[in-house]
Each structure stands twice: as C-alpha cells, then as structure tokens.
Amino acid sequence: MKFRWFFSFLFFGLFLSCQTDVEKKPQENVKVKIPAFSGQAAYDLVKAQVDLGPRCPECPGASKAIALFRNELQKAGWDVDLQTFDTKLFTGQEVSGTNIIGRYNPEVNERVLLCAHWDSRMIADKDTTRKEEPIAGANDGASGVGVLLEIAHTISRHPIPMGVDIVLFDMEDQGDDGGKNPNSWGLGAQYWAKNLPEKPYPVKYGILLDMVGAKDAEFPKEGYSMHYAPQVVNKIWKLAKIIGKEKYFVNTKMQGGITDDHYFINSIARIPTIDIIHHKSDGFMKEHHTHADDMDVIDKNTLAAVGQVVLSTIYKESNKEF
C-alpha cells in the first residue's frame, strides 16, 4: 500500500459479472452471545502462511497458500470460490492472480464484508540487503488473513443468522512505491470490485485488515475510511473502547489516506469499507517491506485485540445491536 494525501478522489465505473442466482432471504431474528477470539489460533494461522515461504507472484509459496486458505475456509463450513485474473505489474511483468472468496450463509440478504490481502511483497525495497528478494510478509499480509481465518472458524463454532463474506485479495502489495502510480497497488481488489459475485451485492459495509499483528500496534482512524464510511469507523472504535482495546484503536484521525484495497472497494464498487491498519505518526512499522517482517514481529495480544473487536462487530451486527 502507498500513503496518499487526498484533495480529490478518483471514481471508477462499476462493472458487475460472475453473478449468482442464489435466492436471498432475510436473516432470522436470533441473538447470539459474542464468543472469545483466540489470539493463539490466529498466531498459528499466521505462522502457517509464513512457513510456506514468500507468497508473491509466481513464488512457490503462492499456490501453497491458496490451497491453505481454501482448506481452512472449507473446514469451517464456508462456501469457497477462487476468482482468477490476469494483470500487469508496474514493472511490465504479466502475471496471474487469485482472490479467495469465502461465504457464510450465502442465501442470507443481510451481510458484512471482511477482507485482507494475502500476497507478500516481491522485493525488499526498504531493506539494506537482498533488496531484490521477496519477503516473508508476516505482518504485511499474513496477519490480517490469520485473523480472518480464525474469525471464520469461530463463527462456524458459534453460528449466527447473518451472512458474512471473507475476501482474501491477491496482488495488493506489488505496487510502485517510488512512483506516482496509485493504481499499481491493490490489483486483486480492483478486479474484484469490477467483477462482484452478485448484482446487486448486498453487503452493509466492509472491514479491511492490514498489518494487524505487530507488538504495540496502533490503528488510527484512516483518512479514506473516514471519508467513505465515518459512521462505521466511529462505531467500531467506540466498541473497541467499550471492550478495553483503546490502546490499539487510538482515537486519532489520520490526515491523509492510504491507497489500500479499501480505496478501490469504495471508489469502484461503492461499498463503504474501512481499513484497520497499523500506522503511527512516523509512518508504517520499521520492518515494512524488509526481510525483518517475519514472525518475530507478530504479537498474539495484538492479534487477539483486533480479532475480538472485529468479531464483536460481526455479532453485534447480527444481533441488530450495532
């Protein structure tokens, strides 16, 4: 992702395909107690990804990761689809990508979208050595996916009547960090937003997780999130304070926006989507886009905090309390 100041916003047309004929029904009026989220289980799922090796375009770890994600979602009882696409990187390299789409209660009309990117950066451009080698991407990529996969397992153990979609985006982190080409980022999200699984696509809002596993992480109210979905941001940050996670979900408004997957979901698909992303006053974590972004960066307490806030949001939304 790339940090941007937004004085104007770029809007794209909406193109819909890959539609489904599943007949929708309203969710049942059933309230479910909010379960606990396991930071340890999320940590194990992050490690499982890192153990596969870098998950960049054409890396051996990428195909293994896709199989892992599909298996974990299917074990949780979710419907799983793979959305493949061809794209071109800012380098000119032509590559194929895969978005993984998991759906819980696909027949239910009331739904919330959860998403993260699963690819790791193909170069260590912020490192001082081995700059042309791909990185592990433990926090930048694997952490958000680990939290979402554990949320899928938790929901399967504690069923809710509402529908939930999880989308794991490919090709988010392969953009031009030194140029002025924001559209070189979030390639999987751009493709998905132009090719939604249904028309209309009935999700209330989306929550994106990115870099959500580092020790002492802080998640400010990100700029594009506040522009497109301020009511969602404020409700989630308020909930985080109520359940004692305000140490992480700081009540600080970022002055600019980050070109992350949520930007394209908002601007192309017009789905109000927020970004829970680690960013402090001095920028991203120091390990960002370096080989130091490995399991030593990951903290179970941070994963637990983010997972509990997002899980609580889902259950409160399902209980019609949010």
Burial of 230: CB neighbours in 10 Å, binned 0-12, 13-18, 19+: middle
Q: According to the model, what pLDDT value does residue 255 have?
A: 86
Q: How far apart are the first and last CA of the chain?
A: 30
Give Cβ neighbours of residue 222 (< 8 Å, ≥ 6 apart).
233, 254, 257, 258, 274, 275, 277, 279
Q: Which residues pair with 207 in a beta bridge?
A: 114, 274
Q: Which residues pair with 25 in a beta bridge?
A: 108
C-alpha–C-alpha distance, residues 55 and 49, integer Å: 8
Report the phi/psi class of residue 41: left, alpha or beta, with left for phi > 0 and alpha for psi in -120 to 50: alpha
pTM comes to: 0.93
The structure tokens 């408004």 sit at 253
Q: According to the model, what pLDDT value does residue 178 have?
A: 76
Q: According to the model, what pLDDT value does residue 7 have?
A: 36
C-alpha–C-alpha distance, residues 62 and 190, integer Å: 19
Q: According to the model, what pLDDT value does residue 174 have?
A: 97
SS3 content of the chain, % helix, strand, coil (to 5): 35, 20, 45
- Note down pLDDT in tens along the chain; length 322 residues: 555 444 333 333 333 334 445 688 999 999 999 999 999 999 999 999 999 999 999 999 999 999 999 999 999 999 999 999 999 999 999 999 999 999 999 999 999 999 999 999 999 999 999 999 999 999 999 999 999 999 999 999 999 999 999 999 999 999 998 778 999 999 999 999 999 988 889 999 999 999 999 999 999 999 999 999 999 999 999 999 999 999 999 999 998 899 999 999 999 999 999 999 999 988 999 999 999 999 999 999 999 999 999 999 999 999 999 8
